[in-house]
Chains A and B, each alone.
Chain A
Amino acid sequence: MPRAGIAALQEERILELVPYVYERSALVRKKWEEAGVKPSDINSLADFTERVPFITKDDIREFRDRAQDPFGGLLCTRYSDATTVFSTSGTTGDATLYAHAWNRWHPFWAATARDLWEIGVRPGDYVLGSGFKMRGPLYHADQMCGAIPVLVNTGIGGWATALDAIRRYRPVYGQLTGLALAELDHLSRTNDMRELFSSFKGAAFAGEPLGARARRQLEDWGVEVYVWTSAGDVAGAWECRQHDGCHAWEDCVLLEAVDPAGSAQAADGELGELVATSLDNPVTPMVRFRSDDIIRMTRQPCPCGRTHARFWPVGRKGDETIVAGRSFVPMDIWRALEQIPETATALFQLVRPARKIDELKIRVGYDPETTTSVPDLRDRVSEAITAAVGVPPVLELLPEPELLTRGRGGKLSRVVRA
């Protein structure tokens, strides 16, 4: 669809959404009244992005706690009108709820079917089921493509037997997470991963950034990896075969990149905070939701032929940490740990009670099978992190399996308070 067509479709849906949410969403009405905005003020897409106030996760939590409303004022229907209620990962506080109403296919995963088709999933193909279900039936996307999900344990601790399913069914696609890659890294010592993954047309990776070493490893195994991420908890955004940014489906979500410290729209390709508005969810629609995700976004056509916006995740707003006057981001620690064989899976947590800290405390996972001396490892990790950040760390070294138990939803929070 040409850009003009996408904009026209979005405007149509936004103009339907505006009176709908104002009448039904208590949080939206509160925010708009505070800002002096009425639905009659919004007569175009431009009006919407210029005048409608933002909503933050803190707004939702504050409304939830004050009004004792589990949905934080976002619910536009009765609870009984919802089909499913799921929750965010809860990595930055008490998880927030979101709901959908649906008949046959879950809306979040229905849009994902387009992305699987792009990867090459076709009717009759076997695909490896994903590891986690807290966001609902991901296999709906497989089934919408006519594929057959092989529902075995690909969550934590399941990959040794998942390889048996790969040998047996020769799936064309599977979902990976950082925690899965840590397991596969160990299994690669006793398995021919290139042969195992030779049936794959592609594998998806989500949940956290894909480290450079992990990407190289997947390439060595012959796996074409498609990174995907969340577009503000409203929809998924997946890489296409060009692997040059994650495409959002703009008939599901209105995406904006705005100044992280203000409200101005970021120029095409410049850094901005991802702001999302639901265009396909009448139950708990997000309206100009500030996601805290820092992205670069472009609406330039992709060489794959798609005209929907692409974005490149850069990090989380507030991930920048200042220790002893020096600034760094979690990726700096990630790269340092990847260089050391025993910590190459880069499983770590920065323990940070505040953004500015006096002491650089880091919890690092190590491979107990290949670690012969923890004191020696401690010295090398300390040296690598000091070189990367400029400040010597206070390290807590844990065997990887022990650190993994602190994960949630297929990912390990890289920045924690304790």
Chain B
Amino acid sequence: MSLASTTAAAAAVAAAVARPGQWAIGRYDVAGELVYFEVSWDDWERDVAWARAVLADHGIGTDSGLVIVGGMPESPWFDPFETAARELGAPYSIGEIYAFEAFRTDLYTRRLPITMIFGIDRTVAEGLGDELAAVVARVPVTVARPDAVGLLSAAGAKPFIVTRLGPAIAVECPHRSGAHLNSAEWTLAERGGELFISTAGPRAYQISQAALGLRGTLTDGACGCGRAGQRVTITE
């Protein structure tokens, strides 16, 4: 159909452009120190594959609809989940991470058949104010940042956890036994309650035992979901 042919033509032109190996540069901070990291196109593709499996475990498919609450600078962590939703055939909307943008998360859950909110944090939960309980009541699955769990639980939700860990991300599966890390890419260590991260996969960004400025506990071994590897619970 020619109604989508401009985008198709633009994609063909883009495919011919010489592309560097880097998908993007991301940044996180550890105790106020800015840490930059590179994500390659190969890294991104593996991250998408992992995110696809994570979302599929939560039942995301063609009958689903998502609100993904993540800001532009969080794209190195959240774009793989957006792309995974697209690949799974689930329409998604973006809820911004500012309190004054929380109305979008409310709007989408009010107007669309949303089956999952992914990534809601305390700022947006607070921004929803009195609407928070109504929002979570409409949506079967909430996957939340650790700082929003208290508010969401008080509003009647039983959230699963998604948490950024420096350059990595971890997501709880339906078995609720800690947030899974992609063990093919990253390894965590815990010393005295402090968490440290190392690269395990062939990523563009290689680090070893880097402090995350986070406290938590680790669980290893098989999970009820069948996935092996580390799971993390953030305690602070």
Contacts from A to B (Cβ < 8 Å): 12-13, 16-17, 20, 70, 79-80, 82-87, 90, 94-95, 97, 99, 101-105, 107, 110-111, 113-114, 123-124, 126, 129-134, 136-139, 143-146, 148-156, 158, 161, 164-165, 168-169, 249, 251-252, 278-282, 285, 405-409
Within the complex, what minimum Cβ distance (angstroms) separates B7 from chain A?
A: 4
Within the complex, what minimum Cβ distance (angstroms) separates A296 from chain B?
A: 25
Tell me the complex Cα distance, A136–B86, Å: 13
Tell me the complex Cα distance, A143–B14, Å: 8
Closest 3 pairs (CB-CB, A-B): A70-B111, A144-B14, A107-B7
A129 and B72 contacting across the interface, CB-CB below 8 Å: yes
Contacts known (A84-B92, A165-B27); A111 close to B98, Cβ less than 8 A: no
Contacts known (A82-B91, A87-B104, A123-B17); A282 close to B6, Cβ less than 8 A: no
Residues of B within 8 A of A145 (CB): 14, 17
Residues of A within 8 A of B17 (CB): 123, 144-146
A87 and B108 contacting across the interface, CB-CB below 8 Å: yes
Nearest B residue (CB) for A72: B111
B91 and A251 contacting across the interface, CB-CB below 8 Å: no
B24 and A149 contacting across the interface, CB-CB below 8 Å: yes
Within the complex, what minimum Cβ distance (angstroms) separates A76 from chain B?
A: 9
As a 0/1 sequence over residues 141 to 180 of chain B, the CB contacts with chain A under 8 angstroms (1 = contact) are 0000000000000000000000000000000000000000
Tell me the complex Cα distance, A149–B36, Å: 12
Contacts from B to A (Cβ < 8 Å): 1-7, 10-11, 13-14, 17-20, 22-27, 34, 36, 62-63, 65, 70-76, 79, 82, 86, 89-94, 96, 98-101, 103-104, 107-108, 111-113
Nearest A residue (CB) for B85: A83
Contact of A79 among B18, B25, B82, B91 (CB under 8 A): B91
Nearest B residue (CB) for A408: B100
B91 and A113 contacting across the interface, CB-CB below 8 Å: no
- Interchain pairs with CB closer than 8 A, number: 189
Interface secondary structure of A, over-half rule: loop
Tell me the complex Cα distance, A104–B4, Å: 13
Contacts known (A80-B63, A151-B27); A13 close to B73, Cβ less than 8 A: no
Q: Which of B5, B6, B13, B22 has the most CB of A within 10 A?
A: B6
Contact of B25 among A16, A151, A251 (CB under 8 A): A151
7 contacts between A and B (CB under 8 A): A85-B91, A123-B17, A134-B94, A138-B72, A144-B10, A151-B24, A279-B3
Tell me the complex Cα distance, A164–B13, Å: 33
Residues of B within 8 A of A285 (CB): 3
Within the complex, what minimum Cβ distance (angstroms) separates A345 from chain B?
A: 18
